[in-house]
Structure 1
Amino acid sequence: MTRKRRLSRRAAGGGLIALGLAILLALAAVWTYVGPGPKAASGDATAVVLERGAGVGQIATALDDAGVIGSAGLFSLAARLTGAAAELKAGEYEFGSGASMASVLADIRAGKVIRRQITIPEGWTSGMVVEAVNAYPVLTGVADEPPEGSILPDTYQVRRGEDRAAVIQRMRDAHDELLAELWATRQPGLPISSPQQAVILASIVEKETGVASERPRVAAVFVNRLRTGMMLQSDPTIIYGITKGRPLGRGIRASELAGETPYNTYRITGLPPTPISNPGREALAAVLNPPKTDELYFVADGTGGHAFAATYEQHQANVARWRQIERDRAAGAGR
């Protein structure tokens, strides 16, 4: 065998070895990509927050540091080769223990983020709202209590690590945006001279009825009373003057009905100085576009709603029926 032939065979053998190694590396990479990933450090899943604006390299590093994937470089390469690199979405993700790199990439590309939300019910006070936000565990910082009536009740998406003050500000921005929109299309001739007065009246409407369909009718009663100079005579305003909107836990006493507070609409004419709650979209819309009625009174009707009346005589009859319902219920409870 000539020296040249021996060298040729060695080169061929080396090429086969290199090819074999390349195949093995490729198979290993494919297995790393589609096979089981690292086990979670604790529990059944690992949570990772991917920041807005992060590039594919930063995302890969964050996943690698969290122990979700086994190779940041391979993740970056796969993201580019599959076209996912420009479609990765920020947010909080939760990956099951042993999730494959392929499934991790697919989830981030599809934006399968953890949906966290805070629901603020209509009629909550600002104190109640800020307590709920400050108690939400995945947020950071401490939010101060905003002015009464400055928040729009709704369901808000939040993310892990978001500042609590920023969450409150989003609620306030939503309120301001909606109020500006409704104020611009308000009914002409209302006895309300400013958006803040609309919020004050809407906050009273919100607390007066738990029946959504009644809000416009209740709003119309109060608008009619303001037009005629009648006192609003709203029990929730008395309660706000006593507890700042917290449940009273009992009936209103005669001394409280006669009490001198800026919120006692049995003693003052017109609106109280501030809202008594955070009214929702429907209550705000109701006071700015109330139906045309001649009703001036309403009282509970025993079904959870109210009986409305245009005259004091009609109202007295409705009150008598309600008192009888109360007596019948008390008698039934005592048996």
Structure 2
Amino acid sequence: MMSYQKRGWQRLFIFSLLPLLLGIVGSTSWLWWSWVISPVSSTAKPQRFQIHKGTATQQIGAKLEQAGLIRSKYAWSLLARYKNWQDPKGDFQAGTYELSANQPMNVIAETIRDGKVVQTSFTIPEGWSLRQMARYFQEKGWFSAEDFIKAASKVDRKQFSWLPADIPILEGFLFPDTYQLPAEKITPQGVVEQMLERFEQTALPVYQKEKGKTNFTLKEWVTLASIVEKEAVVAEERRRIAGVFVSRLQKGIKLESDPTVEYAFGITQTPDRPLTFAQVRQPSPYNTYATPGLPPTPIAAPGLPALQAVLNPENTDYLFFVARYDGTHVFSRTIQEHEAAVAQIRRERQKR
């Protein structure tokens, strides 16, 4: 039978080894953890990684491991627990991310937690019509021109209650600007909503502030601004052109704006191929040579300067203007002055 003294020495020996054993286990665990959170590859290229709304933390880890972006889904769960990143709190945000296997796991986790989704940019110039926007998005390869036109034909007054009640399409209300959108929102409807929101944030407050000083409804304001946008090339002439159109409307004179003819019939005139008499006489609600007043809807997307010009037009007695083909115009008070200016410009054009 083992003596009490011998058993005491054994216990002492075991207890003396315990710190060493714990140290070995701790060192091994630390080495494992350092390895498991380290980058999977130092030469990996970035890849798109999408997280759908409602995806659980463990599912995200499993997808990351499957994609080769992290070493272990279990380590991912441990990291989430240690950081107290939990599903009910929505710490990991849905979206499309650009991640790489050369990033440590904690960097990948923080990228998703902070919602640093992939942003895609696009720019819509002032004066573009829906047809031009549709071609632009199709050429970028995002979606078809037809799908964009369909989305722009849905006037959602539940979400955007300020939209005029009598418009069949969103022409003129998709604000021209440069946009940054999450990749998953690059859809016809997503783009339309972003552009309407920008109009609501940028243009609508201008109208609401000044509408007591104008007789134009919201639709009339945007419609006339779209014509001014297409006619005015030089910024200094914008308010004068707006003033000419306002005067003609007040006097019951047809606007006779070339861009409305181009919009009505889908044509584009050039200095060498101006509009013909047959074209300007062709009936259409959008042809302001043939139809009095404003067109039924805007003909393009006016920028803020054109919108402001219509609210603050130049007080002028000019009633006519003709393009010089250098961006500027000759303004006239009478039809005789206007016809003389047109003839002079044609002669100068023929000489050149």
Which range, TM-score by smaller chain? 0.7 to 0.9
Once superposed, what is the RMSD of the aligned Cα atoms?
3.5
TM-score, normalising length from structure 2? 0.75
Q: Which amino acid is the alignment partner of residue 172 of structure 1?
A: L
Q: 1:172 aligns with which of 180, 188, 196?
A: 196
* Structure 1: 5+ residue stretches without partners: 330-335
Asked whether the equivalents of residues 301 and 318 of structure 1 are also in contact (C-alpha less than 8 Å), the reply is no
TM-score, normalising length from structure 1? 0.79
Any idea what SS the aligned residue of 2:226 has?
helix
CA distances 1:62-96 after superposition (whole Å, capped 9, x unpaired): 53443322234434554665688887665432123
Q: 1:214 aligns with which of 237, 258, 283?
A: 237
Other-structure match for 2:322 = 299
* Structure 2: 5+ residue stretches without partners: 154-168
Q: Larger deviation: 50-59 or 121-130? A: 50-59
Other-structure match for 1:4 = 8
Indicate how the Cα distance of structure 1 residues 229 and 75 shifts in structure 2: closer, same or farther if over 3 A, else same. Answer: same
Whole-angstrom CA distance in 1 between matches of 2:254 and 2:147:
40
Asked whether the equivalents of residues 123 and 279 of structure 1 are also in contact (C-alpha less than 8 Å), the reply is yes
Q: 1:37 aligns with which of 24, 37, 40?
A: 40
Whole-angstrom CA distance in 2 between matches of 1:180 and 1:12:
78
Indicate how the Cα distance of structure 1 residues 210 and 224 shifts in structure 2: closer, same or farther if over 3 A, else same. Answer: same
Asked whether the equivalents of residues 130 and 168 of structure 1 are also in contact (C-alpha less than 8 Å), the reply is no
Indicate how the Cα distance of structure 1 residues 302 and 237 shifts in structure 2: closer, same or farther if over 3 A, else same. Answer: closer
Other-structure match for 1:271 = 294
CA distances 1:2-35 after superposition (whole Å, capped 9, x unpaired): 24323442454355234202211112212333x3
Other-structure match for 1:332 = none
CA distances 1:252-276 after superposition (whole Å, capped 9, x unpaired): 1221122222222122221122222
Q: Which amino acid is the alignment partner of residue 290 of structure 2?
A: R
Indicate how the Cα distance of structure 1 residues 117 and 268 shifts in structure 2: closer, same or farther if over 3 A, else same. Answer: same
Indicate how the Cα distance of structure 1 residues 69 and 185 shifts in structure 2: closer, same or farther if over 3 A, else same. Answer: same
Asked whether the equivalents of residues 302 and 325 of structure 1 are also in contact (C-alpha less than 8 Å), the reply is no
Asked whether the equivalents of residues 191 and 223 of structure 1 are also in contact (C-alpha less than 8 Å), the reply is no
Q: 1:25 aligns with which of 29, 32, 35?
A: 29
Instruction: Please report how far the alpha carbon of residue 222 of structure 1 lies from its aligned counterpart in structure 2 after TM superposition.
Output: 0.7
**Count of paired positions:** 323
Whole-angstrom CA distance in 2 between matches of 1:220 and 1:62:
61
Identity over the aligned pairs, expressed in percent? 33
Whole-angstrom CA distance in 1 between matches of 2:147 and 2:292:
38
Indicate how the Cα distance of structure 1 residues 81 and 156 shifts in structure 2: closer, same or farther if over 3 A, else same. Answer: same
Whole-angstrom CA distance in 2 between matches of 1:256 and 1:139:
33
